[in-house]
Structure 1
Amino acid sequence: MGTQVLARPSVESAGEHRDESGWHPAVRVLFRFTFVTVGIGMAGAWLLHALLRTLGLPQQAVAEIGKWLALHPLTDWVGIRLFDVRVDYTVTGSGDTAAKWISVVTLILVAIPVTAVWSVLDRRRTAYDRLYAWFRLLVRFTLVSALMLYGMIKLMPTQMSFNLERLVEPFGHMSPMAVLWAQSSLSEPYEMALGAAEVTAAVLLILPLTAGLGSVLAVIVALQVVLMNLTFDVPVKLFALQLLLYATLLAAPELARLVRALLGRAVEPSRRAALLGSPRGHRLMLGAQVLLGSWLLVATAVEAYDGWHTYGNARPKSPLYGIWNVTEYTVDGQPVPALVDFDAPGTGLPNPTERFRRIIFDIPQGMTAQRLDDSLVSFPARVDTGKQTVTLSKDTSHQLTLASFTYARPQDDQLVLDGKLGGRSVRMRLDQVDLAQFPVVSRGFHWVQATPYYQ
């Protein structure tokens, strides 16, 4: 018999007969546990958090809600009693904090008795077809919101934005994550392609008709993200594994049908229970999915566009943008030689007697200095083009000043900084580095190459 593939899923209404006797008792227990942990505890918590962000709730309020979604204070108790760790919910930009991992352990510990009680109270039920359909819907839109967010900030290059300091930082000084970020940021088309794949998967997941194809693409995308996070030590391993789990749960039936088709076997249309028990309810749910998907698409696009122009590749540049070599450095009129003292204790703060090798102006609100040992130190900075001053501070509000300089530009590629640093007079002469000397940004793309350009 020839292969017959029908991609369109069939949704059964409440009036249609379904044999609900096929669920094995172990499968029913596993579904209850999965519904509690993956459905409510992970996917539901993430989707609620994502929707609150799109509604413009203050970041502090969103963080507080996230803390309670992590089962605080029960997670605190688990952290202290089982791991001897005091849980800190401070938002650090890492998704792999102790609080995140311990909250997952807490969720599993809570889900075990909940599943047991549910199994006893609902022991007469033989299947959960409709609840399974709602579970898939929840997981599907959690995946939509996550892929939209991460896809948009790559499609509008923001997640891996280009930083000047990477051009002079020694490769060996970079962390594996910094290497990944740097190489991705050097090719906007590559980063945008990664984002386009994530956004495409998210868009396909919005509609039930294309959700199967979207889930398969989401598995491929999530596998790539997990691989990168695990091999480059990116601190989003936990959430990346959750995304892969969501995508796999959604794609498993479609992948099974695809394998059967590739083996030359007939593939019947997929059949799933309706979310609501009437044709009108089905149409309402379809409309609600389109509206929610559209809202997430627009909200994440606006957020990504704002981020792209704030801290992404379209962000403003410093008025003194560039990499500047320090050719002369004097303290109280005495020249400071370019000598490296590797035994000198590093404080992270500018020292008037510690001669800088380079000064890097990239973003308007910051400055990075490269020491003679090639290490980098960054400061909040404010460049006033009217007064021609540069102020370095300890804080972004510029309440605690570290140094203040006036600057002059005798020529476009020359800069003189003259002012106070650590209570002493410091003067620096700087020459701008021609960025074209770095092949990583000037080499470009070539269809025809006589020999490999590897240097």
Structure 2
Amino acid sequence: MQLSQYEPTTWPLINRILFRVFSVYLVFYYGATFVPRTWWDKAVTWAGKLLIGKDYHIEAWPAGSGDTTFNYLQLFCILLAALAGCLLWSVIDRKRKNYDKIQYWVMVVLCYQLAIVMFRYGVAKVFPGQFAAPSLYKLDQPLGESSPMGLAWTFMGYSRGYTIFSGIAECLGGLLLLFRRTRLLGALVCIAVMTNVVAMNFFYDICVKLFSSHLLLTALFLLTPDIKRLARFFLTQQPVAATTRYYPVFATRWKRYVFNTVRYLAVAWVLWGAVATGISIRQSVKQLTTEGAIYGTYEVTSFKSLSLPGETTINRPAWRKLYFEKGRRLLIRDDSGVTGGAVRIDIGLRTIETTINKNVDTVNMHYTLNFDNTMIMKGTIGHDSVQIHLQKKDTDHYLLMTRGFHWVNETSFNK
């Protein structure tokens, strides 16, 4: 192996220490996904007993949230392992004057890792899988009842164009990271994009603060070899010489062929993963955006029990509104809140089946649709027999969905 225009230099001690710490920590952080869950359960339980109390036990595993107590304790374990690894590395390799070669390969690994994630999230925005358009329930929900995260999701989901723009920016950052000549620009794009993402996650209480912060940290770490050159360019307005960092150049043809083949296959693998993700999301979105035969918002006008003669109430909160959403979902608002989930509707038999209250109660209904947009449902909720009369609401009048775009606004329209 030969070196192209490369002259080794002696790194300052502080630079060597910081490189060991951050490179080991980031590699351990991303490598944690390959550690079996049973191992993490033991490590997290130990950390919990140490930091929280001797009676600690895992109550929630990461599922939909990346900011659980489990995640924070896991991060503590990763930090301890990284510090131990850094200390061991420092003792074994204390005579090394620079980490040019190791830095190159660490940067390659982190570039591909960051690129994969940027593509994954970017494609999920270009093909609207991460942020769906506001649902019927969201459009009907009072603003004050929305959570900060729900408000952010509605903000992003409303504008297909802005969501696609955000996704393209993330994909662009990931794409630029895959090539050596554009890697610096890719890191800068990722820093700009992820700074905005991290700010939104923190200020809207979105539960991926830890992961997004590490993506930003990774992008900043990728920038460190060029930090002096960037400062010279932006702050002093002086010319900046081309970099002469280590890059592997092979003397024999077959070694160059193998190296380039592996490199291009890795790039192709990342790009194909992005394309496959897009295809999968597109198919899922198509199913989730299909309107059912009784799609719409229905207001309950009568809710009666048929369990006993003459009885008009049952021992459960009365239903107030039903939201038959796209993608075969049903949400039910009653006096105690909102419940619901997946729904099975048989148009031929005119039946509705679902489970509510965290799968405690099964709902089996037969429905009749009338020409005046009313519906009658008869059936059971758990062990109670009920008859429900509903009136379909007009869902085409929401200003948010009808306002649209205007080049010309004679007055501000801020409602």
The TM-score with structure 1 as length reference comes to: 0.81
- Please point out which of 349, 353, 377 is paired with 1:391: 353
* Counterpart check, 1:269 vs 2:242: yes
- Please point out which of 334, 345, 357 is paired with 1:371: 334
- Please point out which of 11, 19, 29 is paired with 1:42: 29
Verify the 8 A CA contact 1:222 1:244 in the aligned structure 2: yes
Verify the 8 A CA contact 1:310 1:316 in the aligned structure 2: no
Verify the 8 A CA contact 2:6 2:246 in the aligned structure 1: no
Gaps of 5+ in 1: 1-11, 50-64, 338-350
2:352 partner SS: strand
* Counterpart check, 1:97 vs 2:59: no
CA, structure 1 residues 14+379, in 2 after alignment: closer, same or farther (shift >3 Å)? closer
- Please point out which of 5, 11, 36 is paired with 1:23: 11
* Counterpart check, 1:245 vs 2:234: no
2:97 partner SS: coil
* Counterpart check, 1:14 vs 2:3: yes
Match of 1:320 in 2: 294
2:66 partner SS: coil
* Counterpart check, 1:406 vs 2:366: yes
CA, structure 1 residues 301+411, in 2 after alignment: closer, same or farther (shift >3 Å)? farther
1: CA distance between counterparts of 2:99 and 2:163? Answer: 41
1:426 partner SS: strand
2: CA distance between counterparts of 1:422 and 1:75? Answer: 39
1:103 positional shift: 1.7
Moved more, 255-264 or 174-183: 255-264
1:436 partner SS: coil
- Please point out which of 109, 113, 120 is paired with 2:91: 120
2: CA distance between counterparts of 1:210 and 1:122? Answer: 32
The letter of the residue matching 1:293 is: V
CA, structure 1 residues 34+255, in 2 after alignment: closer, same or farther (shift >3 Å)? closer
Verify the 8 A CA contact 2:305 2:384 in the aligned structure 1: yes
1:155 positional shift: 0.8
Verify the 8 A CA contact 1:157 1:312 in the aligned structure 2: no
1:183 positional shift: 1.4
Work out the number of aligned pairs and report it.
408
1:197-216 equivalence runs, <5 A: 197-216=169-188
* Counterpart check, 1:434 vs 2:404: no
The letter of the residue matching 2:145 is: H
Verify the 8 A CA contact 2:136 2:395 in the aligned structure 1: no
2:195 partner SS: helix
The letter of the residue matching 2:115 is: V
Q: CA RMSD in A?
A: 2.8
2: CA distance between counterparts of 1:354 and 1:99? Answer: 35
Q: Which has the higher contact order (CA 8 A, sep 6+)?
A: 1
- Please point out which of 227, 246, 251 is paired with 2:199: 227
1:246 positional shift: 0.7
Match of 1:184 in 2: 156
- Please point out which of 83, 87, 102 is paired with 1:131: 102
2: CA distance between counterparts of 1:87 and 1:277? Answer: 51
1:385 positional shift: 1.1
Verify the 8 A CA contact 1:207 1:290 in the aligned structure 2: no
1:125-204 equivalence runs, <5 A: 125-162=96-133, 163-204=135-176
Gaps of 5+ in 2: none
CA, structure 1 residues 118+81, in 2 after alignment: closer, same or farther (shift >3 Å)? same
Q: Percent identity?
A: 25
2:364 partner SS: strand
1: CA distance between counterparts of 2:237 and 2:252? Answer: 34
1:289 positional shift: 3.2
1:286 positional shift: 4.3
Match of 1:358 in 2: 321
